[in-house]
Amino acid sequence: MKTLFVLAATVSLLFGTALAQRSRSTQDRIVENWVAAWNSHDVNRVIPLFTNDVLYEDVTFGAVNHGSADLRKFASFFFAAVPDMKFEVVKSFVQGKCGTIEWTFSGTDRGVYKTGKKFSVRGVSILELDHGKIARNLDFYDSATIMRQVGLLPTSQ
């Protein structure tokens, strides 16, 4: 009987570990795909990561995008405005239906403020997931940091 209990416990542990690894892989893929899509500068790689009725909000600029069509316009604008845009993940956490991606966003301002100058800013995206897709994405970062770097605000003393 003791051998049967040990065997059952071992199988349970192995099965639980496999599920945790599978779940972790799915979580890692969500973050990896998010970063790769934005770094690809290809709207057609961004849109499939999100639900059709996504709410994507750039809180800093007050840009609220409802659905795939709005998100397509938003992404297209940023790809043109910052043609060398790049996201680098600092840290991420995804569990269940929620997640965060802490990132550094950098590039050259060609169309936001039209300065032609480089910038780099840290920020975070808060995600809500629905069946492996992003249903809600809120981006937070400090626009004053960007404005100082592109020469629109004085640097801090």
Does the pLDDT of residue 99 top 60, yes or no? Answer: yes
CA 117, CA 122: separation in Å to the nearest integer?
A: 17
pLDDT at 121: 98
pLDDT at 93: 95
The angle subtended at Cα 92 by Cα 88 and Cα 95, nearest 5°, is 150
Closest CA to 54 of 145, 150, 138: 138
Question: Bridge-partner residues for 66, per DSSP?
Answer: 55
The pTM score is 0.83
Supply 7's token pair. 């065997």
Which CATH number, 3.30.70.1710, 3.10.450.50, 3.30.830.10, 3.30.420.10, labels domain 2-149?
Answer: 3.10.450.50
For the stretch 116-148, pLDDT in tens is: 999 999 999 999 999 999 999 999 999 999 999
pLDDT at 156: 75
Does the pLDDT of residue 106 top 90, yes or no? Answer: yes
| Average pLDDT for the chain | 89
Region 103-118: mean pLDDT is: 98
